[in-house]
Amino acid sequence: MIAEAMQLPEKEKGILHTAAHLHDIGKIGISDKILNKPGSLTAEENEQIQAHPRIGCNILGRLPMFREISMIVLYHHERFDGLGYPEGLTGENIPLASRIISTADTIDAITADRPYRKAKSAEECFLEMELHTGSQFCPTVISYATMIKDDIEGVLNELKIKGIKHYAFVGHEELMHSRRLI
C-alpha cells in the first residue's frame, strides 16, 4: 500500500512485495521460545533476535534470483538515525524498500497483540510513529503512510474481523501451513 502511494515503478513494487513476505525468514533460525517470550529479552536473546536479518540475507542470497531481495531483508531493521542493526546504516543509505518494510512491519507490530502487551489502535500507532520520524523512521515513508492511514486502518480492521493473525506472530509450525501473509 505504501509503495502504491509512493507511485513506485511496477518492477520495484514486485520486488518489494516479495521482500515483504520474506523479510523475517531469518526468524526460522530463532527459537519460538524467544520469539514468543512474554517478558523482556536477555542480552543474549536480543543478540539472537538481531541476527535474523543476516540469517535471512544468507538464506536468500544463495539464490541468484533473490540476491536483491536478500539485501532488502538484511537492512529492514536499520533506523534512519543509524542506531539500527545489523550495520548501523543511516538515512538514504538504507535501501528505500527496507525503509518501507520497516514502516509496515512496525505498523503490524504495534497493532498486533504481543505476548507482553495488547495491540494498540491504528491511531495510537501513527502517533507513536510520528514521534520517531527522522530518528527511527524515514520522514518520506512516514509521510506517505500517513496519507493512506485510513486505508491501512481499514485493512487492519478487516484482518481483525476475519480473525486473521498478523504475520509477525505466526509461529514456525503455523507458518508452514499458512498462506495468510500480509
Residue 102 near residue 137, CB atoms below 8 Å: yes
Q: Which range in 91-95, 115-119, 145-149, 158-162 is most confidently predicted, on average pLDDT?
A: 91-95
| pLDDT of res. 43 | 97
Question: What whole-number distance in Å separates Cα of residue 119 and Cα of residue 111?
Answer: 5
The answer to whether residue 179 scores a pLDDT higher than 50 is no
Q: What is the arithmetic mean of pLDDT over 101-118?
A: 88
Residue count of the chain, please give it. 182
Which amino acid does the sequence have at 22? L
SS3 48: helix
Query: CB neighbours (10 Å) of residue 26?
Result: 22
Structural domains present in the chain: 2-177 (1.10.3210.10)
| pLDDT of res. 116 | 75
| pLDDT of res. 175 | 38
The answer to whether residue 68 scores a pLDDT higher than 80 is yes
Which amino acid does the sequence have at 97? A
Measuring CA to CA, which residue among 56, 57, 169, 43 is closest to residue 105?
169
Residue 53 near residue 44, CB atoms below 8 Å: no
Is the bond leading into 9 cis (omega within 30 degrees of zero)? no
Measuring CA to CA, which residue among 24, 1, 30 is closest to residue 72?
24
pLDDT in tens, 19-60: 999 999 999 999 999 988 888 999 999 999 999 999 999 999
pLDDT in tens, 161-171: 877 765 544 34
Which segments of 26-148 does DSSP mark as H helices, in order? 32-35, 43-50, 52-61, 67-74, 96-110, 122-131, 139-147
Mean of the per-residue pLDDT values of the chain? 88
pTM: 0.87
